[in-house]
Amino acid sequence: MPVPHFYHWFLKHRMTTRPFFEARQLACIRDDRVLFSGLDIQVHGGQVLLIEGPNGSGKTSLLRILTGLRNPDEGELYWCGTAVLELAALFYQDVAYVGHMNGMKDDLSASENLKFTQSLATATLSIDEGLHKVGLDGYQDTPIRYLSAGQRRRLALARLLCTKKRLWILDEPFTSLDKASIMLFESYIEDHVATGGIAIMTSHHDTGLPDHIVQKIELRS
Amino acid sequence: MTTPSLFNAFLSVVRRDLILAYRHRAELINPLAFFVMVVTLFPLAVGADVELLRRIAPGVIWVAALLASLLSMDALFRSDFEDGSLELMVMTPHPLSILVLAKVTAHWLLSGMPLLLITPLLAAMFDLQADVIGVLLTTLVLGTPVLSLIGAIAVALTVGLRKGGVLLAILVLPLYVPVLIFASGAVDSATAGLPVSGQLYMMCAMLFLAITLTPWPTAAALRMSLS
């Protein structure tokens, strides 16, 4: 549908001040099964997008498509009004992804892992501050193979806090976290969103995030 | 604060891989031990005929180096793929091809470099002259990085497969052949007292072609393996 020109101008003007992530008509086909099609997503800075759905409904596939790791079978992604395919590397200045796998090296210490993350992105907090925020003080020099699953997950989430990214894409971020840590991270997500960031996440737990910032989509299997 | 420069990103990938390898020293020894074993067994099996040993030396050392390189290749992206750090490396503002080049550099420092260091010792067993050893080392300096760079493409293609080992060898060996031919040709010429510059220039050309051209297909193949 053609859009009036002034509306475009209006959108662009707004996008420069506030991040805006959009997916148009996404489709994903896996093993000859259509997981979803014609999916439209619009998330603005200050919002959390919660993707819900039963196991196997394509939540992880959707998130991987949104990160650009996987090509959608149909549809396109737009970041602040520009196609992600055009932005290429620029898009990744803004995206942080925590997937099923933590993406951490077991043989490196907690601080070495974070240092490596920071060496590929824009750093915000110091390593020690980051570890403090996730309650891993004193684990700086411990190889993370000696940490528990929950502690490792917290370290993976510390990556988000230590680097400056506006779009957080989180796949089941709270797996193996205890109640207190979940609450802590929800508060960090709220902080991130309050400063104009976007969070897109899947979660099986009921989130304690306030309703007015949460937008939900439901995938059906 | 700004995003670290591309050069710093390159260095930090190399440094990380070197640290990780240092913490897994035992695995580092494998290709080197293989190389040393194959090369030392030949004089024992063939006998102490000095003329014959001199003649087969370049071939034996190069075939052993090639197979040792192939042996270590599979580990290049494996652990990063399995623990998800490869995904994160794809999702950086830096070009993936340069980060790939960093990983291959680290891999060569760990697998190619030790071979270079041990080769003079092994060459002595084949009664090679000092100038021939010099040429042999030059071919290894120029040739083993090419093996790593070309191998990286095939490893990137097969990293998503559970049992990609044989496929990797089949994909990679034909591409290794030119390196093998020019390298052992150079050493042969040196043994015969002929000029070797032609072969060495050719190998230089291969090295620079490999450095400039292979990172892109490797990066593309990694993206495919991840999607």
What pLDDT, in 10s, does the model give residues A73-115?
A: 888 998 888 888 888 778 888 889 998 888 898 899 999 999 9
Q: Verify whether the Cβ–Cβ distance A92 to B92 is below 8 Å.
A: yes
Return the residue of A nearest to B3 by Cα. Answer: A122
Q: What's the domain range around B103?
A: 3-226
The total number of structural domains that make up chain B? 1
pLDDT of residue B101: 95
pLDDT of residue A122: 84
Phi, psi dihedral angles at A97 (to 5 degrees): -125, 130
Element (H, E) at B172: helix B165-191
State mean pLDDT over B9-29.
90
CA A45 to chain centre: 13
Q: Verify whether the Cβ–Cβ distance B19 to A108 is below 8 Å.
A: yes
ipTM of the complex in this document: 0.83
Collect all residues of chain B within an 8 Å Cβ-Cβ radius of residue A119.
4, 8-9, 12
pLDDT of residue B2: 62
Does this model's pTM top 0.80? My answer is yes
Q: Verify whether the Cβ–Cβ distance B83 to A121 is below 8 Å.
A: no
Collect all residues of chain B within an 8 Å Cβ-Cβ radius of residue A101.
82-84, 87
Return the residue of B nearest to A163 by Cα. Answer: B3
Return the residue of A nearest to B85 by Cα. Answer: A103
Rounded to whole angstroms, the Cα distance separating A204 from A184 reads: 17
B41-83: pLDDT as tens digits: 988 888 888 888 888 888 999 999 999 998 888 888 988 998 8
Instruction: Say yes or no to pLDDT of A11 above 80.
Output: no
State mean pLDDT over B186-200.
89
pLDDT of residue A15: 46
Provide the shortest C-alpha distance from residue B226 to chain A (in Å). Answer: 7
Lowest mean pLDDT across B60-64, B162-166, B210-214 = B162-166
Complete DSSP assignment for A78-117? EETTEEHHHHTHHHHTTEEEE-SS----TTSBHHHHHHHH
Q: Are B20 and B106 in contact (CB under 8 A)?
A: no
pLDDT of residue B38: 92
Provide the shortest C-alpha distance from residue A10 to chain B (in Å). Answer: 28
Instruction: Say yes or no to pLDDT of A5 above 60.
Output: no
